[in-house]
Structure 1
Amino acid sequence: MSAFRRLLQKLEVAPDERPLSVLRNPDLEPIPHAKRQWAFWSFFAYYGLPNVSAATFSIGSALLSLGLDIKQSIGTIVVCNIVITLYTILNSNPGFKYHIGYTLEQRMLFGIYGSVIGIIIRVGLSVVLYGYLSWLGALCLNLIFSSWSKSYMNMRNTFPESVPMTTRDCISFLIFQLIQMPFSFIRPRKINVAGIVFCFMAIFSVIGILAYTVSANGGPGPLYYTSQELSSSQRAWTWLLAMTVWYSGISPVIANQSDYSRYGSHKLKMHAGVAIGVCLTGTLAPVAGMFSASATQQLYGEALWLPTDMALKWLEDNYSAKARCAVFFIGFSFTGTQLVVNLTQNGYACGMDLAGIFPKYINITRGTLFVQLISWVVQPWTFFNTSSAFIDSMTSFGIFTTPIMAINVVDYYIVRKTRISIADLFTLDPNGAFWFYHGFNLRAIFALLVGIALGLPGLIFSVNTKLKPNAGMNNFYSGYTFFTVIVSGLTYYILTLIFPIKQRVGVTDDKDYFNAFSLTECENLGMEPYTEKINCEYIDMERGRNRTLSGSAQPRLSLHSTPSAPQVIQLEASSKND
């Protein structure tokens, strides 16, 4: 064995009782039923955390800059939260029923090899969002340090004016990145308790900021009473754009919902947690942010949108024990919120995706460390320069993830009738359900590209104001929250009618090979429950495959059914290269 091959073997992730393969490692397998412990409060916090974070608190700045007033902005938020809840619940069920994450869903949608497309899209978004939320976490961490030391709060900036950050913020950013790294070694399903704690702490902080600013000002302030007169047409398109801004920030979370719905222990509790978490906290925080900003405009002569700016202003005006205590609590709650949100929605998500591309060498922990190390290259401090930069970054995310969500819903509910074979997600057999055409589902890829292509011109026009915009493309971009769902979903469905999928549509496994289903679930799905014998059968299959690979013949994994026996998985030696 060469030195290079020995090095590669040492770099392989630790296997479980089953050998690794080019498609499987322990982090990619369905979640065993004994480890699915997320219920109402876990899902409430999972969606409550991003909604009560510092970024969401300041979203009113983006909405008002579109030309809406506070009352109109609240209306768009309420309506959009209902839409977000519907999208999320529809996208939750594949992960809940079959206990698989976003990465395996991409194999189901785009094919065994085509899955790389959906995975790379989310890896790119995870890197950008991880850096963005890390910088915002650093601003929250500043509150803690500033409440401890007045010298730190008033630290002299040693950077030139051309650099869009201060020395103080840079130090906090580096420290926040270091704080996040040890959490890479925690399993994603175990961080729900910390999420629940920080979610409620952040809710109390949001309510406290709202109560203090409005009370100190003696009312909600001038922004609340400002009204905007828009024509019916202007109001309609502005509402759509405002809903897109609000939706797009959470659109990657909706697309990868199966990563966490697979931890769900009870379907109704999961859906209730999602609905209340989205609608309650998703209305409370932005409304509190707009009222507080309106009050600060009258109090301080300028509207402060970030809660970190408000808290630092309190310390600058009165560095008392009372103010320091309040700022510390606010800083600690928002810092914890940023930490959990960033890990669950970007760090762990990127780790899961990279494990799908390099299953022999990357697991969730290694993938999370990877995104932590490279996230600084997106220069997240530039996201906070102007409100337009903030809007552009927020509204662009959903262009890439919304088509995936739409295709997933159509494929799972309409094409496959909620029935899929998990074993087929781990095979290169051309007869497998997700092989399609040489490992690519061209129908889904085309529908994805159509949805993205129609949204890109509007994004380009919004970024480059020197170009003469096309009204139709701009309108599509403003409402892609709805239009892309229709276009990509309908395109995919029509293509499946013209070019029907022939491989094992609507087929489930006859055996629980991964110990992922309870006895009740096995009975409902018509599966033979997991046993040691089935586990040994799966291990023997993997070992046989590895032995064959070391020889001259290539293996072919065939899945077939017979009228008198359940589905059998066999490994047959063949000279054909899969």
Structure 2
Amino acid sequence: MSAPESAPPTRPPAPELRGAPSPRLHNEDLAPRRDAAPWRTWDLFCWWMSAWHSLGSYTFAIGLLVLGLTGWQVVVALVLGIAVLLWGCNLTGVAGQRAGVPFPVFARLSFGVFGANVPALLRAVVGVAWYGIQTYLASLAVMTMTLKVWPASQSLTAPQFLGMSALGWICFLVLWTLQLAVLHRGMEAVRKLSDVAGPVLWIAIAALAVWVLARAGWSVDWNYREGPALDTAGTVSAIVSGAFLTVAFLAGPMLNFADFSRNSPDARSIRRGNGLGLLVNGTAFVLVSVVIALASAEVHGQAVTDPVELVQDIDSVTLLLLATVSIAGSAVGINIILNFVSPAYDFANVAPSRISFRTGGVITAVVALVVMPWRLYSSPVMVNYFIGGVGALIGPVFGIVVADYYLLRRGRIDVDDLYSDSPTGRYWYRRGTNPNAIAALLVAGTITLLVAFLPALSALAAYSWLVGTVIGGGAYLLAERVHPSGSLLPEPAAVPAQLPTQR
């Protein structure tokens, strides 16, 4: 990996809109690419480091052991999933870079200038819920450290208010405030945070791996599994299932990747950043996570799925402090990148004249607090059926927007009309909404929810993202063929694009 460039590469300026954009669809934050410092290869590489290194990512990766896979088979499943994520992020990332707009504005292309609020708010709901839950999980790590360093704080764990102790509230609100402060400074602050957090968190994770390996006598069993052995067919099926569960795990960020890539100088930077961040960094993180889990199995008799439990075994207060700060820092980093930026843009898209990116961030933080994420997390039914149900619709949305941009329009966009509420605008469709996209989302979404939650279809549940993507994109293309929306005529201001190829 080369060092970051000493000077930012040249990139095209923000496109000039032909006419005055509608205040119902435009503000400074939603405008086409601005002149802020670009997200280059190094920035996207660090972005992926921050995105991967979290409590949730580790727990998810090790959780694949319950499929009956061995340690090395879990690595294979995760790497296959990473390859699919690389393909998808190159598609959405390059499209966003060429248009120069964030995801909710890009979605206007297929859903209509007002209809785009449907997929945007679906993504926002998932982001807000997980933002609150991740903040809560990080606060538990901080609370563990506080109790170890300051035993007298034990007295603050007894009083309960709305289901959480006084100490729990203090830890939660401290992290809640820190994250809001970062986002309030804008996307440039987010870029700088990920540039620092990504490499630093790698050091902490590597140190944790060395510490656990030393306790295990520098020995791990790559054939370790939880549950009975699988036959060949069962093993292949479990590996493929694990791969698509990996895709579903990061399907939301893949959908709104344009929020970040739109500020990249060129498509090459995106492909290189994704390649380094996903294939190289992602694979390395997978290997380290599995090594930690297998080493913990040597020490505890079974793989420890929660890094906080490992940290609690540290005797040194100094090392415990460093480990806790690293864990909490990783949670904050991934939360801002994956669960905070997207809802901020999505809420701003609803009423641009009144809601800025920063205001959208405040709404995200407040709603995440009001829903009391500790109660959400303690209720598997709520997580599985509400958050999981809305999340299952991400696949159909991805299928629709990708099929529309690459297969139907061949990369041609009239950026000006993305901000026009004129009935003669290219993306006005029918009262600002494209019925074909909404119908495709309803059809694919219904099927995806049935696949995800119907017991009779449980064998296909791991493939819900794939099912939703294929049916969503296919249903949309069929609807446009039967009842064309009429937005495909050549336009002088259209921007041609080529299908991105991985390099």
TM category, shorter: 0.7 to 0.9
Cα distance change, pair 226–182 in 1 and its aligned pair in 2 (3 A): closer
Instruction: Tell me if structure 2 keeps the 8 A contact 1:417–1:506.
Output: no
Instruction: Tell me if structure 1 keeps the 8 A contact 2:452–2:462.
Output: no
Cα offset, 1:302, TM superposition = 5.4
Cα distance change, pair 491–436 in 1 and its aligned pair in 2 (3 A): same
Cα distance change, pair 120–174 in 1 and its aligned pair in 2 (3 A): same
How far apart in 1 are the matches of 2:414 and 2:94?
Answer: 15
Q: Give the aligned partner of residue 24 of structure 2.
A: 22
Q: Give the aligned partner of residue 346 of structure 1.
A: 339
Instruction: Tell me if structure 1 keeps the 8 A contact 2:434–2:485.
Output: no
Q: Which moved more, 1:491-500 or 1:143-152?
A: 143-152
Equivalences for residues 130-149 of structure 1 within 5 A: 130-142=131-143, 145=146, 148-149=149-150
**What letter matches 1:265 in structure 2?**
P
1:31 aligns with 2:33: yes
Cα offset, 1:232, TM superposition = 4.5
How far apart in 1 are the matches of 2:152 and 2:163?
Answer: 21
Instruction: Tell me if structure 2 keeps the 8 A contact 1:96–1:262.
Output: yes
**What letter matches 1:192 in structure 2?**
R
Instruction: Tell me if structure 2 keeps the 8 A contact 1:80–1:247.
Output: yes
1:478 aligns with 2:462: yes
Equivalences for residues 110-509 of structure 1 within 5 A: 110-142=111-143, 145=146, 148-152=149-153, 157-158=157-158, 168-221=167-220, 224-226=223-225, 228-300=228-300, 303-314=303-314, 318=315, 323-382=316-375, 398-461=391-454, 469-470=455-456, 473-507=457-491, 509=493
Cα offset, 1:399, TM superposition = 1.6
Cα distance change, pair 394–231 in 1 and its aligned pair in 2 (3 A): farther
Cα offset, 1:407, TM superposition = 1.3
The residue matched to 1:191 in structure 2 has which SS? helix
How far apart in 2 are the matches of 1:374 and 1:269?
Answer: 35
**What letter matches 2:465 in structure 1?**
T
Cα distance change, pair 480–420 in 1 and its aligned pair in 2 (3 A): same
How far apart in 2 are the matches of 1:241 and 1:261?
Answer: 29
The residue matched to 2:157 in structure 1 has which SS? coil
The residue matched to 1:23 in structure 2 has which SS? coil
Cα offset, 1:82, TM superposition = 0.3
Instruction: Tell me if structure 1 keeps the 8 A contact 2:392–2:464.
Output: yes
Q: Give the aligned partner of residue 4 of structure 1.
A: none
**What letter matches 1:108 in structure 2?**
L
**What letter matches 1:21 in structure 2?**
P
The residue matched to 2:432 in structure 1 has which SS? coil
The residue matched to 1:68 in structure 2 has which SS? coil
How far apart in 2 are the matches of 1:487 and 1:165?
Answer: 43
Q: Give the aligned partner of residue 15 of structure 2.
A: none
Instruction: Tell me if structure 2 keeps the 8 A contact 1:458–1:477.
Output: yes
Cα distance change, pair 432–390 in 1 and its aligned pair in 2 (3 A): closer
How far apart in 2 are the matches of 1:289 and 1:256?
Answer: 26
Cα distance change, pair 220–289 in 1 and its aligned pair in 2 (3 A): farther
Q: Give the aligned partner of residue 85 of structure 1.
A: 86
The residue matched to 1:479 in structure 2 has which SS? helix
Instruction: Tell me if structure 1 keeps the 8 A contact 2:453–2:461.
Output: no
Q: Give the aligned partner of residue 46 of structure 1.
A: 47
Cα offset, 1:159, TM superposition = 5.6
Cα offset, 1:207, TM superposition = 1.1
| TM-score normalised per structure 2 | 0.86
How far apart in 2 are the matches of 1:164 and 1:300?
Answer: 31
1:58 aligns with 2:59: yes
**What letter matches 1:453 in structure 2?**
T
How far apart in 2 are the matches of 1:165 and 1:242?
Answer: 35
For structure 2, the 5+ residue unaligned runs are 1-19, 498-503
**What letter matches 1:199 in structure 2?**
G
| Cα deviation 1:56-95 (Å, max 9, x = unaligned) | 1222342112332222211110101000000110111221
Cα offset, 1:508, TM superposition = 5.1
Cα distance change, pair 22–292 in 1 and its aligned pair in 2 (3 A): same
Aligned length: 477
How far apart in 2 are the matches of 1:332 and 1:177?
Answer: 15
Instruction: Tell me if structure 1 keeps the 8 A contact 2:46–2:198.
Output: yes
Q: Give the aligned partner of residue 576 of structure 1.
A: none
Quote the sequence identity (%): 19
| Cα deviation 1:410-467 (Å, max 9, x = unaligned) | 1111211211111111212222110112222111112222221112123334xxxxxx
**What letter matches 1:459 in structure 2?**
A
Q: Give the aligned partner of residue 534 of structure 1.
A: none
Cα offset, 1:392, TM superposition = 7.7
Instruction: Tell me if structure 1 keeps the 8 A contact 2:194–2:333.
Output: yes
How far apart in 1 are the matches of 2:146 and 2:294?
Answer: 27
| TM-score normalised per structure 1 | 0.75
Cα offset, 1:375, TM superposition = 0.6
How far apart in 2 are the matches of 1:294 and 1:165?
Answer: 33
Q: Which moved more, 1:290-299 or 1:92-101?
A: 290-299
How far apart in 1 are the matches of 2:411 and 2:141?
Answer: 43
Cα offset, 1:409, TM superposition = 1.3
The residue matched to 1:229 in structure 2 has which SS? coil
Cα offset, 1:166, TM superposition = 6.0
**What letter matches 2:409 in structure 1?**
R
Cα distance change, pair 151–199 in 1 and its aligned pair in 2 (3 A): farther
The structure that has the greater radius of gyration is 1
Cα offset, 1:148, TM superposition = 4.6
How far apart in 2 are the matches of 1:110 and 1:375?
Answer: 27
| Cα deviation 1:242-272 (Å, max 9, x = unaligned) | 2233222211100001111111013212211
The residue matched to 2:412 in structure 1 has which SS? coil
**What letter matches 1:25 in structure 2?**
N
Cα offset, 1:178, TM superposition = 2.0
Cα distance change, pair 131–328 in 1 and its aligned pair in 2 (3 A): same
**What letter matches 1:270 in structure 2?**
I
How far apart in 1 are the matches of 2:377 and 2:298?
Answer: 23
Instruction: Tell me if structure 2 keeps the 8 A contact 1:350–1:371.
Output: yes
Cα distance change, pair 348–226 in 1 and its aligned pair in 2 (3 A): closer
Instruction: Tell me if structure 2 keeps the 8 A contact 1:164–1:385.
Output: no
| Cα deviation 1:508-549 (Å, max 9, x = unaligned) | 528xxxxxxxxxxx9x89xxxxxxxxxxxxxxxxxxxxxxxx
Instruction: Tell me if structure 2 keeps the 8 A contact 1:38–1:265.
Output: yes
**What letter matches 2:174 in structure 1?**
I
